[in-house]
Amino acid sequence: MTSGIITILAMVGFAAVVWWAYGPNSRDRFKAAEQLPLNDEAEDVSARAGGSQ
């Protein structure tokens, strides 16, 4: 009985995480996050170029 309840809670928790990760509200946040490494690299390059002038 207890293992069944734990299994159901785990399934509900997994479904909640999947909904959070792939839900429509997360798309904009993840689009912004995927650009962060590119933005940092561009700032580093421009800082180095500006410092050598």
Q: pLDDT of 12-50, one tens digit each?
A: 999 999 998 888 888 888 888 889 888 876 666 566 666
Whether this prediction's pTM lies above 0.95 is answered by no
pLDDT at 48: 64
Report phi then psi at 52, rounded to 5. -90, 0
Alpha helices in 1-53 (DSSP H): 2-22, 26-51
Torsion region of 21: left, alpha or beta (phi above 0 gives left; psi -120 to 50 gives alpha): alpha
- Domain map (residue ranges) of the chain: 2-51
